[in-house]
Chain A
Amino acid sequence: MKPFGQLDDPRRRILIQALTAGFFSTPWGAAAQSIFGSAPQRLPPGQSIYRASGRVLVNSQEATLATRIKPGDVVETAPGGELVFVLAEEAFILRGESRVVIENPPPSSPLKTALRLATGKLLSVFGRGRPTRIVTATATIGVRGTGVYAESDPEQTYFCTCYGVADIAANNDLQSKETVSATHHDRPLYITAKGAAGGRIRRAPFINHTDQELMLIETLVGRTPPFVFPMNDYNAPRREYP
């Protein structure tokens, strides 16, 4: 992938020209992108949102592709909605019926990003050397240079360290904590609100996110994931004609 700032890729140049001209702000341009998709590229500076579908609110205002997202914002999606967005060197897919608060860590904090996923589902990738904290209803997770997927509800959190390292702790039980070092979805976990001391973290299956999605959002911030081949769970029957 070419370094950020170089415009010699014609597709990227066309994309930026289209953005400048407001192409994707037109209803038909956005609709075409929504229906047929687009070839993902690193987002140009000043653009936070790659794709928004359904009803999406940023600070209670309806979001468009021109909306900027920054620390301190609250991002919400309605049922069936989805938001694919970038914040500095981090990129996210926020699924429907979700609410995430992007906190603004104080300058003295070692954290570069802090997220509070009150409810819903969030796929995230983070830049190397950028310590991040994710707080859900039942867990607090410290990550650095990773791809992770979290689902949060008041009773439990689903958390998959897709790759990288994550320090996971139950919010209401200091004894329930675990460090996961993963290369490819090695150890998805549930972190529950209730349970015996030291027993609130348990194994979970791999659910609700794909390697293609991780590749997509890494592309938006000019990176690639550490694996080359995606897992392919989709398997429509391809019966051959005898």
Chain B
Amino acid sequence: MRRGGSIPSRAGFAVATALVGAAVLPGIAHGADVEFTATGIEASFTSDRNVSRSSADERLSDTFFGVRVSKGFLLPVSTRSRAVFQGFAGGEKFRTYTGLSHAFIGGQGDFQYRSSAEFAAATFGAFFRTQAEYYDSELRDGYRHVFGLSVLKPVTDRMQFFGALQQNISDGKSTVFDTKSTSLRGNLDWSLGRSDTLYLGAEYRRGDIVSSGTQSLARINVADALVQDDAFSDQGYLAYRFQSNTWLATLGYNRAFAERHSVDISYRRVQSKPLHPSAYGSVSDVRYVVNQLSLAYLMRF
């Protein structure tokens, strides 16, 4: 896998940041009253029915393996507030459309506030996450940043709600992959027993998306930017960036076993349509639907 050698300055900055963080943060952590979180490892297999984010007649299916490793620590700020830092790295390997295969490394910081130790007290948070991504597709190499506000609240002794309002920014090598969007998302965890959790997630996203497909009048008219997509060059697809309304729904089931292990199966459906559809060409050319099915294994130690 190529490692984004075409943007050495940014890649170097990301790696240097990660290395400095790895070297300095444990020292800070050691000096302060901190608590390390468990190391998390995730391995997943996903079937994606529309990896090209194309309209119905041009969509391309693929499967990919993913792995993610994370480690973090908690830094108490006051009795009712704390900072949570996490570093993570991983990658996804696509079977057919290898240009989508990529590695990533990044970090996340959360500042959390909880008013009391009462069972139903909500935890409010402000977070920032940044990651560098190195694709086999050169155009997609770049950075992804997310910042926002979150709330986590137990609803009953079996249900817990998580909500977040966030801004998503990606900075790719190609301007087509420079995107901004705003998301409002919610997730409900429903504990069916000590080991079984069903979760339901919904998200509304407004802003830039990238969709790939052949040339069409509707796409060209609606696009803010376009480029020959090097991940789908055999198909002759172009990557189009345009503003869109996107809805995401996730239904998942997690089963914990052997104390620190769990398996997770989830289904996600994504529907996207342009915010400002063109008067020319077929509207169906600029809408897409994604169906993803994922099976994941999680371990903490």
Contacts and interface: CB of A to CB of B under 8 A. Distances in A.
A236 B156 contact: no
Interface residues of B, number: 51
A228 B118 CA distance: 8
Contacts of A179: none
A28 interface: no
B117 A234 contact: no
B79 interface: yes
B298 interface: yes
A227 B117 contact: yes
A38 interface: yes
B116 A235 contact: no
A46 interface: no
Contact of A236 (B118, B120, B159, B254): B254
A229 B114 contact: yes
A82 B195 CA distance: 13
Interface stretch (A65-73, A126-134, A207-215): A207-215
Nearest to B146: A240
A13 B254 CA distance: 35
Task: Report whether over half of chain B's contact residues are helix, strand or loop; otherwise say mixed.
Answer: strand
Nearest to A37: B158
A224 interface: yes
Task: Report whether over half of chain A's contact residues are helix, strand or loop; otherwise say mixed.
Answer: loop
B42 A237 contact: yes
Contacts of A38: 156-157
Q: Which of A95, A205, A233 has the most CB of B within 10 A?
A: A233
Contacts of B74: 229
A225 B199 CA distance: 27
B82 interface: yes
B243 interface: no
Contacts of A205: 259
A236 B296 CA distance: 9
Contacts of B155: 37, 39
Interface in B243-279: 248, 252, 254, 256, 259-260, 262, 264, 266, 268, 270
Interface string B107-132: 00000101011111001000000000
10 contacts: A39-B119, A212-B154, A224-B118, A225-B117, A229-B123, A233-B38, A234-B189, A237-B294, A241-B248, A241-B268
Given A228-B117, A229-B74, 17 more contacts: A35-B158, A39-B155, A39-B157, A40-B119, A40-B157, A207-B259, A229-B82, A233-B300, A235-B40, A235-B300, A236-B199, A236-B252, A237-B296, A238-B187, A239-B294, A241-B203, A241-B248
Interface of A: 1, 35-40, 51, 82, 95, 205, 207-208, 212, 215-216, 218-219, 224-229, 233-242
